[in-house]
Amino acid sequence: MFLYICRRIVYTIPIALAVAVVCFSLVHLAPGDPLSAVIPADAPAEVVERIIQAYGMDRPLPVQFFAWLGRAVQGDLGFSVATGRPVTQEIGRALGYTFVLSLAAAAIGFLFGILFGTLAAFFQGRWSDKLVTGIALFGVSVPHYWLGLLLVIIFSVQLDWLPSLGGGSGSWINRARYLVLPAITMSFIPMGIVTRTVRSTVADLLGSEFVTSLRARGLGSSRIANHVAKNAAPTVLAVMGLQFGYLLGGSILVETVFSWPGTGYLLNTAIFQRDIPLLQGIILTLSMFFVALNLLVDLLQTLFDPRVRRN
C-alpha cells in the first residue's frame, strides 16, 4: 500500500506541472493589456517602464514562467494588479466561502443522489424509477444561472423568505440563510449525475451472478444491500470526487448570480479587470485542489476495491 501511494504521488507531479504550464500560457495568450488597470492613459514613458519592470513583464515568457512557478512553490503568488494586495490574501479570503458553498452543495447533491439512485435501482421499471430518472435528467440539464435566478424570484422576491445576495455576516444562523439558495442551485447537477451513476451501477450489480448466489444462499436483503454497496462504492466514489472538484472550480456563474464572495466571484472580477496575477493564482489554486482531490479519490478507491491497487 505504501509503495502504491508513493507511485500515485509521483504520477501526480508531472500532471501538476502541466496544469501550471497551461494556466500560465492561457492567461498570457488572452487579448488585452494586463497593466491597463494600474497605468493611466497619460502616464509618462518612464513610469510605464518602471511598472512593467516591477511586475516582471519586460522579460521573455519562459523566464516569467519559471520565476512565477518558483515563487508559487514557496507560496508567493504575487500581488493583485487591481488592489495591490497579495494574491494569497485575496484567494484565502474567498476560498473559505467557496469551500463552505461546495461542501453544502455536495452534501445535498450526494445525499439525494445516492438515495434516489438506490431507490430507482431497486424498483426498476416502476413509477418511482421513472420519477427519479426524470428528476436526474432535469438536474443535469438545467442551467445553473437560470435555476439560481428562478429561486431568487420565488424565495427572495415573491415570498421574501431568504436573502439573495452576499455572504452574510454576524451569527452562523444568519450566514446559513445566505447559503441556502446558492447551495441548492449548485447541488442539482451533482445530484443528477450521482443519481444516474448509482442507479446504473446498483442495477448492474443486482442482476449479476454473485447477487443471485447470495440470494440462493439465503442471505437477507440487508446483507445483500451491504455487499452491493461495497461493490458500487469505487465507481460512485470516483464520480463524487470529480463532481466535488467541479463544484470547487465551476461555481463562477452561481457565485456571480448570488454575489457570493468566493473564488468564482473573484475569478469573474479578475477576468474583467485583466488582473493576471490574481487570475493565475485562482486558476492554479483550484487546479491543484482538483489534482489533489483526484489523488485522494484514487487512494480511497483502493480501500474499497483492492483490485485497483493490484492493477
Q: Give how many domains the chain has, as a whole number.
A: 1
pLDDT the model gives residue 107? 92
In a domain, 25, yes or no: no
The letter for the amino acid at 181 is L
- Stretch 142-152: mean pLDDT, rounded? 86
In a domain, 258, yes or no: yes
User: What is the DSSP code (8-state) at residue 37?
Assistant: T
Q: How confident is the model at residue 250 (pLDDT cuts 50, 70, 90)?
A: low
pLDDT per residue over 65-117, tens digit each?
A: 888 888 888 888 878 877 778 888 888 888 888 888 889 999 999 999 999 98
At residue 150, does pLDDT exceed 60?
yes
Write down the residue that cell numbers 443486482 correspond to: 206
Instruction: Decide if 289 contacts 252 (C-beta within 8 A).
Output: no
At residue 37, does pLDDT exceed 60?
no
Enclosing domain of residue 281: 94-310
Percent of the chain at pLDDT exceeding 70: 86
- Stretch 266-275: mean pLDDT, rounded? 80
Domain containing 213 — which CATH number? 1.10.3720.10
pLDDT per residue over 196-207, tens digit each?
A: 888 888 888 877
In a domain, 12, yes or no: no
Q: Closest Cα partner for 5 from 300, 307, 266, 305?
A: 300
Q: How confident is the model at residue 293 (pLDDT cuts 50, 70, 90)?
A: confident
Query: Rounded CA gap, 266 and 280, in Å?
Result: 12
* 3-12, 143-152, 296-305: least confident range: 296-305
Query: Rounded CA gap, 181 and 164, in Å?
Result: 7
At residue 178, does pLDDT exceed 70?
yes
Cell, residue 222: 440487508
In a domain, 245, yes or no: yes
pLDDT the model gives residue 36? 61
In a domain, 16, yes or no: no
pLDDT the model gives residue 308? 55
Helices 127-141 + 87-122 axis angle, to 10: 160
In a domain, 176, yes or no: yes
In a domain, 105, yes or no: yes
- Residue bearing the bigger pLDDT, 93 or 166: 93
Query: Rounded CA gap, 273 and 204, in Å?
Result: 50
Task: Indicate the SS3 state at residue 80.
Answer: coil
pLDDT the model gives residue 305? 62
User: What are the Cα distances from residue 254, in Å, to 86, 96, 264, 297?
Assistant: 25, 16, 8, 26
Provide the terminal-to-terminal Cα distance of the chain, rounded to the nearest Å: 12
Q: How confident is the model at residue 121 (pLDDT cuts 50, 70, 90)?
A: confident
Q: How many CB atoms lie within 10 A of CB 185?
A: 26
Average model confidence (pLDDT) across the chain: 80
Task: Indicate the SS3 state at residue 79.
Answer: strand
Q: Specify the DSSP element, H or E, that contains 130.
A: helix 127-141
